[in-house]
Chain A
Amino acid sequence: SQTIHQWPATLVQPVGSPLSLECTVEGTSNPNLYWYRQAAGRGLQLLFYSVGIGQISSEVPQNLSASRPQDRQFILSSKKLLLSDSGFYLCAWSETNQPQHFGDGTRLSIL
């Protein structure tokens, strides 16, 4: 069966520091991969999606970036974090046009 791993679960970072969140999927090949951000008590904002290795689409302008160095690995990065980057970051995978399956998420607090 397919599984999705996302880490770390919680992260506290100072303003201006770099960020790297990692997500890996097991049990499937060539999945669609997604990064979402959820502000407290709010909905899901799609940040990036990828339909294949090296293929990244950005949904909103921001100081974050994403990379897909391997088929089942999706990384969310920033060179310098802002206070506004705080939130709950969720990675998800899906087959094409099928339901999405989410990881446990990373709670990011910027101080």
Chain B
Amino acid sequence: GQQVMQIPQYQHVQEGEDFTTYCNSSTTLSNIQWYKQRPGGHPVFLIQLVKSGEVKKQKRLTFQFGEAKKNSSLHITATQTTDVGTYFCAGRLWRSGGYNKLIFGAGTRLAVHP
């Protein structure tokens, strides 16, 4: 079935280092969303990308959607301890005339050492 693969599964960095997580889909996506889940919390929506090749920024976070709309990345510049958590991508499949399913990646757990 359709899958959204996300790597790495886990990464730890020193505070101030950069961090990137990648998502790849086996099929073309209608859009892709990114969520952050703090330890012990629930996923919180960060951003949605819709257009081929789209790039969006939120302060130190940069989100990209691939030209083929099959892959995406989240890059954090100069990580801080507040960035700790698990980052999930979620790809929206496109189906005509029906519910457009959202498929979550397995998540990348980020640990930041001060």
- CB of B69, distance to nearest CB on chain A (Å): 15
B42 adjacent to A104 (CB under 8 Å): yes
Contact with B along A34-48 (1 / 0, CB 8 A): 000000011110100
The answer to whether A70 has its CB under 8 Å from any CB of chain B is no
B45: contacting residue among A32, A96, A101, CB under 8 A: A101
Task: Tell me the complex Cα distance, A41–B109, Å.
Answer: 8
What chain A residues lie within 8 Å of B109 (beta carbons)? 41
The answer to whether B100 has its CB under 8 Å from any CB of chain A is yes
The answer to whether B78 has its CB under 8 Å from any CB of chain A is no
B92 adjacent to A97 (CB under 8 Å): yes
Task: Tell me the complex Cα distance, A107–B31, Å.
Answer: 30
A43 adjacent to B105 (CB under 8 Å): yes
* Contacts between chains A and B (CB distance < 8 A), count: 41
The answer to whether A90 has its CB under 8 Å from any CB of chain B is yes
What chain A residues lie within 8 Å of B105 (beta carbons)? 43
A51 adjacent to B99 (CB under 8 Å): yes
A43 adjacent to B102 (CB under 8 Å): no
What chain B residues lie within 8 Å of A101 (beta carbons)? 45
What chain B residues lie within 8 Å of A46 (beta carbons)? 102, 104
> Contacts A43-B104, A43-B105, A43-B106; is A99 near B42 (CB within 8 Å)?
no
- CB of B1, distance to nearest CB on chain A (Å): 10
Interface core residue of B41, B42, B90, B109 (most chain A CB under 10 Å): B42
A44 adjacent to B43 (CB under 8 Å): yes
Interface core residue of B30, B43, B100 (most chain A CB under 10 Å): B43
Nearest CB to that of A32 among chain B residues? B99
A102 adjacent to B99 (CB under 8 Å): no
- CB of A98, distance to nearest CB on chain B (Å): 8
A103 adjacent to B42 (CB under 8 Å): yes
What chain A residues lie within 8 Å of B44 (beta carbons)? 102
> Contacts A99-B33, A102-B44, A103-B42; is A44 near B88 (CB within 8 Å)?
yes
Q: Rank and list the top 3 A-B pairs by shortest CB-CB distance, nearest first.
A: A43-B106, A99-B45, A102-B42
Q: Footprint of A on B, CB under 8 Å?
A: 30-31, 33, 41-45, 48, 88, 90, 92, 99-100, 102, 104-107, 109
